């Protein structure tokens, strides 16, 4: 077991070195000129669109965490694959976080419409493969809908490669560490360390409703029932289900873990796994014209 851990550590270290040496500059649409795009389209028709949010992330992480995560991870993927990244929105669907100030939100239909109209522009110029890198659970429904709309109404093909994508199969990590907890704090310590206020990180008091507690009990015998448990979270206060952010959590963090235990190394490992899966997927897809 110790040897396995050691080997794993060495592998991670080596892949990080090759990571930083092999890395080219990420291509970001807003940093390019129209002639750059014209050149790019002669050899490539792929574009990565990051989807994130501007919403409370506890007392220690910036409101833009999900946007930064989606954008920075997309850039890491771009630097490995040469695919251009085109951010469209810094906001997502986050209404249920609005019990904490600073959170911005657009309705799922609004978000879908804005993204679809921008994708129509990209298609006009010759982009044909649209890859969404989402990093906010609340956007999954938008991502699904816009992908379907693109695939069924335009000559382009759209897929997801981030949160909510079949290529990023969830690993069995901590139970309930969804938002601003150990993992996300670790990821931000890697991607945007200057914006993390570790001295303010604090374990939240989590308030599960009696219904949630009962479902958790039942899940010990039938794990499938956790599906219902999951659907009670991240719903606006007006639904009366007790699943809005401030109803669930004393400080906005949704986790039973302790964010004070977060480390940059843990963040590197998490991010690197996601990047690897996306890079492998893109390189394989490049072989099909």
Q: Which residues bind Zn ion (CB under 5 A)?
A: 65-66
Beta bridge partners of 52: none
Contact status, residue 146 vs residue 119, Cβ threshold 8 Å: yes
For Zn ion, the closer of residues 65 and 160 by Cβ is 65
Instruction: Tell me the closest approach of the beta carbon of residue 19 to Zn ion, in angstroms.
Output: 23
Sign of torsion, CA 62 161 144 164?
negative
For Zn ion, the closer of residues 162 and 282 by Cβ is 162
Contact status, residue 135 vs residue 160, Cβ threshold 8 Å: no
For Zn ion, the closer of residues 26 and 187 by Cβ is 187
Instruction: Tell me the closest approach of the beta carbon of residue 158 to Zn ion, in angstroms.
Output: 23
Instruction: Tell me the closest approach of the beta carbon of residue 139 to Zn ion, in angstroms.
Output: 11
For Zn ion, the closer of residues 81 and 255 by Cβ is 255
Q: For residues 50 and 76, give the distance between their C-alpha atoms in angstroms, rounded to a whole number.
A: 12
Instruction: Tell me the closest approach of the beta carbon of residue 216 to Zn ion, in angstroms.
Output: 23
CA angle, residues 180, 172, 236, in degrees to nearest 5 = 45
Q: For residues 163 and 145, give the distance between their C-alpha atoms in angstroms, rounded to a whole number.
A: 15
For Zn ion, the closer of residues 122 and 191 by Cβ is 191
Q: For residues 238 and 285, give the distance between their C-alpha atoms in angstroms, rounded to a whole number.
A: 43
Instruction: Tell me the closest approach of the beta carbon of residue 131 to Zn ion, in angstroms.
Output: 20
CA angle, residues 60, 56, 223, in degrees to nearest 5 = 95
What six digits make up the tokens of 166? Answer: 């079949």
Instruction: Tell me the closest approach of the beta carbon of residue 58 to Zn ion, in angstroms.
Output: 10
DSSP state of 61: B
Nearest residue to Zn ion, using CB? 66
Q: For residues 143 and 137, give the distance between their C-alpha atoms in angstroms, rounded to a whole number.
A: 10
For Zn ion, the closer of residues 46 and 61 by Cβ is 61
């Amino acid at each position: 077991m110790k040897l396995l851990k050691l080997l794993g550590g060495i592998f991670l270290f080596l892949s990080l070195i090759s990571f930083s040496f092999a890395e080219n500059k990420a291509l970001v649409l807003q940093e390019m000129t129209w002639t750059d795009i014209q050149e790019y389209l002669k050899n490539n028709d792929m574009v990565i669109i990051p989807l994130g949010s501007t919403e409370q992330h506890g007392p220690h992480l910036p409101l833009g965490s999900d946007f930064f995560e989606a954008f920075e991870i997309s850039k890491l993927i771009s630097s490995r694959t040469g695919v251009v990244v085109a951010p469209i929105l810094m906001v997502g669907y986050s209404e249920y976080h609005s019990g904490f100030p600073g959170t911005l939100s657009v309705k799922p239909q609004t978000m879908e419409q804005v993204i679809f109209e921008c994708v129509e522009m990209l298609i006009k110029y010759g982009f044909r493969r649209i890859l969404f890198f989402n990093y906010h659970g609340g956007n999954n429904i938008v991502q699904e809908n816009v992908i379907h709309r693109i695939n069924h109404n335009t000559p382009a093909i759209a897929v997801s490669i981030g949160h909510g994508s079949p290529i990023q199969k969830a690993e069995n990590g901590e139970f309930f560490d969804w938002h601003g907890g150990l993992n996300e704090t670790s990821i931000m310590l890697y991607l945007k360390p200057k914006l993390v206020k570790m001295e303010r990180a604090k374990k939240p008091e989590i308030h599960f409703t009696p219904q949630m507690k009962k479902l958790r009990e039942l899940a010990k015998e039938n794990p499938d029932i956790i599906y219902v448990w999951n659907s009670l979270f991240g719903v606006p206060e007006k639904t009366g289900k007790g699943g809005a952010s401030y109803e669930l959590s004393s400080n906005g963090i949704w986790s039973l873990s302790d964010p004070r235990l977060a480390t940059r190394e843990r963040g590197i490992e998490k991010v690197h796994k996601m990047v690897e899966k996306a890079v492998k997927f893109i390189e394989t897809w490049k072989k099909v014209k």
